[in-house]
Amino acid sequence: MTNVQTQTATTSKGITSTVSSARRFQNNAMFALIGLGTFIVLIPLFLITGQVIINGFSAMNLQFFTQSERDMSMLTGGGGVLNAIVGTIVMVGLSLALGLLIGIGTGIFLAEFAEHPLVPLVRVMSDVLTGIPAIVVGLVVYALLVSSKLVGYSGVAGGIALGFIMIPIIVRSTEEVLKLVPNSIREAGLALGLPRWKVTLSIVLPAARSGIITGAILGVSRVSGEAAPLLFTSLGNPDLVWNLLQPMGAMPLSVYNLAFKALTPAQNAQAWAGALVLMLFILGANILARTLAKQRK
Amino acid sequence: MISSVPRPRSMTSAADNIFRLIILALACVVLAAVAVYGFILIQGGFAAFTRENSGGFFGFIFGLEWNPGTEKFQALPFILGSLFTGFGALIIAVPLAVAAALFIAEYAPKWLATPVGYMIEMLAAIPSVVYGLWGIFVLIPAVRNFQIWFVGATGVDWQPTGTGLMSAILVLAIMVIPYVCAIARDVIQLVPNDQREAAYALGATKWEVIRYGILPYARAGILGGVILGLGRAIGETLAVTMVIGNASDIAKNLFSSTATMSSLIASQFGEAGGTQLSALIALGFILLILSVIVNLIARVVITKLTPVGTRL
C-alpha cells in the first residue's frame, strides 16, 4: 500500500520539486515543536519578572530606602535596606577597582604581548576562572583573609571576593576590544617615536575605551547579584556601616535573609521589594552595556 | 630640531621593561589564581580529608554519613546531589535550549529573533537569590500541590513538603537554559551557508536541512555548551540552597530533601566550626576540582571536535 502522496511545487526558477506528505508533516511538526520549546523557555522569564514587579512594588515605600534592617520591629514592622544598598555600592566599587586593575592588565598582556610564551596558559586560566563557582571564591577568601584574622568578616574581604569573580569577565572583554584596535594606530604611535608603554596606555587603551567600559558594566551587573561569596566574607550587617573593616550588608544577602531566614510575612514582602531593586539595577546595567556596545558598532 | 628626535634608547627600553614587568605581574595573578585557590582549600580541608573517624581520604569521598554530632563527615551524598541536580537540570534544559537556539538562528525573522534572543539573555542576568525567592514562594507551593495530588492518587509514603531534589532541578533547568542556548545559537550561526545550500539543493525540507546539514556540523559546539551548562549547575548555590531542603542524607526519590555540595556549604557554614568547617572547605575543594575539569573538557570538546573554520 503506497499511499505516500507527492505534492508538486514549482520554485521561482521553474524547477519542480517533490516532497512527500510524510516529510512535509515532519517538517511542520518539528517547526511546531521548536516554536513551542522557545515559548516554554520564555514562560519563566515572564512569570519571575511579573511576580517580582507586582510583589515588589506593593512592598516598596520610602522607609524601605531610608531605614536599615536593624530598624525593623517585630511589632510595628518598618525597616528597610539602606544598609544593603550602601554595602553593595561600597563592595562592588572595591571589586571594580580590583577587577579593572588586574583585568585590564591581563587583557593588555593577552592582546599586546601576544608573542609571550605564557599567553596561551594565561588565557586558559582566565577561562577556567570564569567557570569556578562563586561560593568557592568565597571560601578561598574566607580561609585567606577572614579565618586567618588578617581582616576578619569585613567589606574588604567581600569586595576582594567579588573582585576575583569580576576579573575574568574584564580580561575577556578587554582582550577582545584591544584586538579590534587596528594595528596601523599602534604603528603610527611607534613611528612617532613613542615608547611601547605610552602607545599602549595613551593610544590603544583610549581607542578601546567604550568596549572596556561595556565589559566593566557587565562585570558590575554580574557581581552585584552574587550573595554566595559574601556569606563567608562580608557576613552581612543589619546596621548601616561605611567602614570597610566591619561586616557589611549587601542587597543579595538581604534578599536571601528576608526570604529564607525571615520570621514575619512583612520581611518576605520586603524580600520581593529587594529583588525588584536588584533586578532593576542589573537589567538596567545590562541594557546600558548593550546600548554602548551597539553604538560602538 | 634634529637633536630632539632621537630618544636615548636605553631610557625608552628601561621604561618599557618596567611596563612589561607590571603587566606580566598582573597577568600572573590570573595565572596563579586557580592553583592558589586549590592550595588554600586543600590546606583548609586537610583535617577533614585525613580524619580517621571518617575513614581517611577515600572514606571522605565515598562515605554516606554526615553527622556533626559524632563529627563523622563524608561527602558522597552531596557529590551525588550536585550530579543528580546538574544532570537532571540538563535533561530538561538541553532540548528546550537547543530548540530556542534553532528558533533564533534558523526560523525566526530578524524582527522576532532579536527580542527573543534578548529576553533569553535576560534570564541569565537574573541573580541567583531572585530565582531562590521565586522558588520558595511560587515553585515550592506548586511542587507541594503536585505531591499532595500524587500521594492521594498513588498512596506512596511521601512527605509533601515541596522542597527537595525536583524543585532544585526545575530551578537549575531555568537557570542553565540561557547559557546552553547562547552557545548553541552562536555555534549554529557559525555553520557555513554551504551546508544549508547543499542540503536545500538535494531537495531537503527545512527540518532536514537542520537535521542533516546543521546539527551534525554544530554538534561539538553544542556539546561543549552543554558541558559548560553542567559546570554552571553544579556551582550554583543560593537558588538551590533555598529550595532543596538541605537534608544531609542521600536522595531517596525525586522529591526527597537532600543537599548539593554548594548548598550544604551555604546552609551549614554559619554554625560550623572545627572539623565541620574543615569538611565544608574540603567540599569546596572537590567543587573547585570538578568545575576545573568540566571547563577543560568543554574546551577540549569544542576545539577538538569542531570542524576547522567554525571554532568559537
Side chain identity at residue B110, one-letter code: K
Closest-CA distance of chain A to residue B242, Å: 7
Q: How confident is the model at residue A295 (pLDDT cuts 50, 70, 90)?
A: confident
Q: How confident is the model at residue B260 (pLDDT cuts 50, 70, 90)?
A: very high
The pLDDT score that the predictor gives to residue A83 is 93
Determine the 3-state secondary structure of A4 from DSSP: coil
What angle is formed at CA B291 by the lines to CA B288 and CA B295, rounded to 5 degrees? 140
> Is B242 at the interface with chain A, CB within 8 A?
yes
Residue A14: pLDDT over 80: no
Of B102, B132, B234, the CB nearest to A34: B102
Q: Is B261 exposed, middle or buried (0-12, 13-18, 19+ CB in 10 A)?
A: buried
Residue A1: pLDDT over 60: no
The pLDDT score that the predictor gives to residue A75 is 65
pLDDT averaged over every residue in chain A: 89
Q: How confident is the model at residue B4 (pLDDT cuts 50, 70, 90)?
A: very low
Question: How many contacts (CB atoms, under 8 Å) link A and B?
Answer: 263
Q: Do B205 and A132 touch (CB under 8 A)?
A: no
Count of Cβ atoms closer than 10 Å to residue A112 Cβ: 23
Count of Cβ atoms closer than 10 Å to residue B82 Cβ: 28
What percent of the residues of chain A are helix, what percent strand, and what percent coil, each to the nearest 5?
70, 5, 25
The label of the residue with cell 569556578 reads A132
The pLDDT score that the predictor gives to residue B132 is 95
Cα B194 from Cα B198, distance rounded (Å): 6
Residue B302: pLDDT over 60: yes
Domain ranges of chain B: 75-270+293-305
The pLDDT score that the predictor gives to residue A79 is 83
Q: How confident is the model at residue A78 (pLDDT cuts 50, 70, 90)?
A: confident
pLDDT (tens digit per residue) in A224-266: 999 999 999 999 999 999 999 999 999 999 999 999 888 788 8
The pLDDT score that the predictor gives to residue B29 is 95
Q: Do A231 and B119 touch (CB under 8 A)?
A: no
Q: How confident is the model at residue B71 (pLDDT cuts 50, 70, 90)?
A: confident
Residues in chain B: 312
Residue B14: pLDDT over 50: yes
Which grid coordinates are listed for A200? 599602549
Please give the C-alpha separations between residue A209 and each of A98, A177, A262, A292, in angstroms, as whole numbers.
Answer: 18, 9, 44, 11
Residue B59: pLDDT over 50: yes
Residue A77: pLDDT over 70: yes
The pLDDT score that the predictor gives to residue A5 is 41
The pLDDT score that the predictor gives to residue A16 is 53
Residues B114-132: what's their mean pLDDT?
92
What angle is formed at CA A26 by the lines to CA A21 and CA A27, rounded to 5 degrees? 95
The pLDDT score that the predictor gives to residue B12 is 61
Residues A154-161: what's their mean pLDDT?
96
Q: Cα torsion for A194, A199, A201, A207, to the nearest 10°?
A: 140
Which grid coordinates are listed for A219? 562585570
Residue A11: pLDDT over 50: no
DSSP letter string, B44-74: HHHHHHT-GGGTHHHHHHH---EETTTTEE-
Residue B93: pLDDT over 60: yes
Per the model's pLDDT, the better-predicted residue between B294 and B155 turns out to be B294
Residues A38-62: what's their mean pLDDT?
93
Q: How confident is the model at residue B70 (pLDDT cuts 50, 70, 90)?
A: confident
Contacts of A125 in chain B (CB under 8 A): 30-31, 33-34
Residues in chain A: 297
The pLDDT score that the predictor gives to residue B7 is 52
Mutate to test the interface with A, among B5, B23, B30 (most CBs of A within 10 A): B30
Q: How confident is the model at residue B161 (pLDDT cuts 50, 70, 90)?
A: confident
Q: Do A225 and B265 touch (CB under 8 A)?
A: no
CA A202 to chain centre: 28
Residues 6+ apart with CB under 8 A from B159: none
The pLDDT score that the predictor gives to residue B1 is 39
pTM: 0.91
The pLDDT score that the predictor gives to residue A141 is 96
Residue A13: pLDDT over 80: no
Cα A147 from Cα A141, distance rounded (Å): 9
Residues B145-153: what's their mean pLDDT?
90
Q: Do A133 and B236 touch (CB under 8 A)?
A: yes
Residues B168-178: what's their mean pLDDT?
96
Report the CATH fold assignment for B75-270+293-305.
MetI-like fold (1.10.3720)
Report the CATH fold assignment for A83-248+283-296.
MetI-like fold (1.10.3720)
> Is B42 at the interface with chain A, CB within 8 A?
no
The pLDDT score that the predictor gives to residue A8 is 47
pLDDT averaged over every residue in chain B: 90
Cα A266 from Cα B234, distance rounded (Å): 33
User: Closest Cα to residue A135, out of B35, B77, B266, B78?
Assistant: B266
Q: How confident is the model at residue A297 (pLDDT cuts 50, 70, 90)?
A: low
Residues B172-186: what's their mean pLDDT?
95
User: Closest Cα to residue B309, out of B179, B208, B236, B220?
Assistant: B220
Residue A7: pLDDT over 80: no
Residues B22-29: what's their mean pLDDT?
95
The pLDDT score that the predictor gives to residue B310 is 47
| Residue A11 main-chain phi, psi, to 5 deg | -80, 175
Contacts of A283 in chain B (CB under 8 A): 122, 125
Cβ atoms of B287 and A133 closer than 8 Å: yes
Q: Is B109 exposed, middle or buried (0-12, 13-18, 19+ CB in 10 A)?
A: exposed
The pLDDT score that the predictor gives to residue B311 is 47
Helices (H) and strands (E) in chain A, counts: 12, 2
Contacts of B121 in chain A (CB under 8 A): 286
